[in-house]
């Protein structure tokens, strides 16, 4: 019997967990409730006996993060598929099904978001095995979470009948108002929609053919036209660009008549807001009076609060707070009542409208070669800390508006400036004149750290002319 192929969806932006999650580095890649990221925990959960190597659906911005995080936990992937543009879950899931069907049309595919918390892997594996029985009989299986409260932030699934295993799905229900959620909880027979699906690859392809046929030809063309790019599978941009932006629920599942539901009664959370993070941390290690803090936060006479800071340089102190969340990064602070957690997305929208970089970008900018962060920025100068991974190299490039001065503080840099190549070691520096063609590499075995001082009339990241790039980044990557 063939193994189940996990498909991890890892392209979302996670605005409800701002400021710790932003478009440039969303929540699935952050260690929000433990030492590993949510993505890594998801990949571990869907690995081992019975599972094939995972397929990851993501975008160009995150491809190197995905590869690095899988490598850190020792999981080899089948493919990291790059979607040219975000078009919601419908085309992504069809593309994954078409990819798997190339090898075995009857192979089972398990699609899961990469930002959910499911700590009991064994219990979840048992639920998947129940679903597999129905999926092998041509059913599309959804997984519903047994509700523990009248939650208004989730969609619901209404189950047909009672019993164990996979049961028929009667209908999908949109996120309800509080009275409806309370009534459904009291009545029973309703589950939270986890957005996790199990099916044979051909079953899903047939469902698109019956209910959303306009997707088939362009998605198949995008898969057929995909190119291998440094170990990533980049779907063809042309046919993908015109696809409808729609979820798998709306495009296909709400119209299909071969749906089943497996109830999962173990612990689950989609970490859909800071209130959910507070509940997770409180459940793992109950704090006195519900005052959940981290290493950089202090609660004094507080009840049911979340105090969080990502930096030792930003200490958060709460005094006399109740039912409040305070989340700080080095460039932004969120303060709100706990019951307004779902409104954080409005803060992101407001900042976008004001043109604030904090809406989407982190101070620390992750790149395939490492990362950098701005330490100081003013008129005509900028100071950065740059960390380059062992063996990594920045692109061969030049700038039109700025010159740069590099000071190595740890490791050794191999620096090319026009026709001159120099090894620059700790406490040494080198100057890169405006317009010079240059490159920085780390030839060593340890991370290389340097301080970069930029001077010029324009200091934006788009002032780069690339001549060579070992990461084959395209325009917009």
Confidence of residue 474 (pLDDT cuts 50, 70, 90): low
Mean pLDDT of 367-379: 91
- Strands across the sheet with 333-337, in order? 291-293, 303-309, 322-328, 333-337
The answer to whether 409 and 426 have CB atoms below 8 angstroms apart is: yes
What does the pLDDT read at residue 13?
75
pLDDT in tens, 404-447: 999 999 999 999 999 999 999 999 999 999 999 999 999 999 99
pLDDT of residue 477: 47
How confident is the model over 116-169, as pLDDT tens digits?
999 999 999 999 999 999 999 999 999 999 999 999 889 999 999 888 889 999
| pLDDT exceeds 80 at position 476 | no
- Give yes or no for a cis peptide into 19 (omega within 30° of 0): yes
Provide mean pLDDT across the span 32-58. Answer: 94
Under CATH, which architecture does the 5-264 domain have?
Alpha-Beta Complex (3.90)
Tell me: pLDDT of 256 over 70.
Answer: yes
| HEC sequence for 366-427 | EECCEEEEEEEEECCEEEEEEEECCCCECCEEECCCEEEEEEEEECCEEEEECCEEEEECCC
Q: What percent of the chain has pLDDT over 70?
A: 99
Give the integer Cα–Cα distance in Å for 157 and 142: 9
Tens digit of pLDDT for each residue in 273-308?
999 999 999 998 999 999 999 999 999 999 999 999
Which tokens in the block code for residue 288? 């006195």
Q: Is 357 exposed, middle or buried (0-12, 13-18, 19+ CB in 10 A)?
A: middle
Report residue 208 as tokens: 């698109």
Q: Tell me the average pLDDT of the chain.
A: 94
pTM above 0.85, yes or no: yes
What stretches of 23-120 show up as alpha helix (H) in DSSP? Answer: 38-45, 63-72, 89-101
Query: How does residue 1 score in pLDDT terms, banded at 50, 70 and 90?
Result: low
pLDDT exceeds 50 at position 216: yes
A 10 A CB-CB count for 206 gives 18
User: Do residues 303 and 289 lie in contact, with contact meaning Cβ atoms separated by under 8 Å?
Assistant: yes
Domain definitions of the chain by residue range: 5-264, 284-353, 364-468
- Compute the distance between CA of residue 222 and CA of residue 236 in angstroms, rounded to an integer: 4
Q: In whole angstroms, give the CA distance from residue 335 to residue 339.
A: 12
CA angle 264, 268, 269 (to 5 degrees): 140
**5-264 and 364-468 in the same fold:** no
Confidence band, pLDDT 50/70/90 cuts, at residue 23? confident
Helix axes 201-211, 89-101, angle to 10 degrees: 130
Q: Does domain 364-468 have CATH number 2.60.120.10?
A: yes
């Amino acid at each position: 019997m063939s193994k189940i192929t996990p498909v991890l969806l890892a392209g979302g932006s996670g605005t409800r967990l701002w400021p710790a999650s932003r478009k440039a580095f969303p929540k699935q890649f952050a260690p929000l409730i433990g030492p590993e990221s949510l993505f890594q925990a998801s990949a571990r959960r869907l690995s081992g006996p019975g599972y094939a190597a995972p397929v990851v659906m993501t975008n160009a911005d995150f491809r190197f993060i995905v590869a690095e995080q899988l490598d850190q936990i020792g999981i080899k992937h089948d493919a990291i598929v790059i979607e040219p543009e975000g078009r919601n879950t419908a085309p992504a899931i069809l593309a994954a099904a078409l990819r798997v069907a190339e090898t075995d049309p009857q192979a089972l595919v398990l699609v899961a978001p990469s930002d959910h918390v499911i700590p009991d892997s064994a219990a979840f594996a048992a639920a998947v095995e129940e679903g597999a029985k129905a999926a092998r009989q041509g059913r599309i299986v959804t997984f519903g979470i047994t509700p523990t409260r009248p939650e208004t932030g989730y969609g619901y699934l209404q189950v047909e009948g009672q019993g164990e295993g996979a049961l028929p799905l009667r209908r999908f229900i949109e996120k309800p108002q509080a009275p409806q959620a309370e009534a459904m909880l009291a009545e029973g027979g309703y589950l939270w929609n986890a957005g996790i699906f199990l099916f044979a690859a051909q079953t899903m392809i047939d469902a698109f053919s019956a209910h959303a046929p306009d997707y088939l030809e362009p998605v198949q063309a995008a898969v057929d036209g995909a190119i291998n790019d440094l170990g990533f599978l980049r779907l063809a941009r042309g046919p993908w660009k015109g696809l409808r932006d729609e979820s798998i629920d709306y495009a296909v599942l709400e119209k299909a008549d071969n749906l089943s539901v497996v109830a999962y009664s173990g612990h689950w959370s989609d970490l859909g807001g800071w209130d959910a993070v507070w509940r997770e941390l409180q459940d793992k290690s109950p704090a006195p009076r519900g005052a959940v803090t981290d290493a950089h936060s202090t609660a004094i006479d507080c009840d049911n609060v979340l105090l969080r800071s990502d930096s030792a340089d930003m200490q958060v102190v709460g005094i006399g707070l109740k039912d409040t969340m305070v989340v700080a990064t080095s460039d932004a602070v969120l303060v709100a009542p706990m019951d307004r957690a779902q409104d954080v997305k409005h803060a992101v929208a407001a900042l976008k409208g004001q043109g604030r970089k904090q809406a989407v970008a982190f101070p620390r900018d992750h790149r395939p070669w490492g990362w950098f962060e701005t330490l100081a920025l003013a008129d005509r100068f900028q100071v950065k800390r740059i960390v380059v991974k062992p063996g990594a190299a920045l692109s061969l490039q030049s700038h039109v508006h700025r010159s740069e001065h590099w000071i190595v503080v740890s490791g050794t840099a191999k620096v090319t400036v026009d026709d001159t190549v120099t090894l620059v070691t700790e406490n040494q520096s080198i100057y890169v004149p405006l317009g010079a063609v240059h490159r920085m590499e780390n030839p060593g075995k340890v991370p290389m750290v340097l301080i970069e001082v930029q001077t010029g009339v324009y200091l934006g990241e788009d002032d780069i002319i690339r001549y060579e790039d070992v990461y084959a980044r395209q325009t917009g990557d």
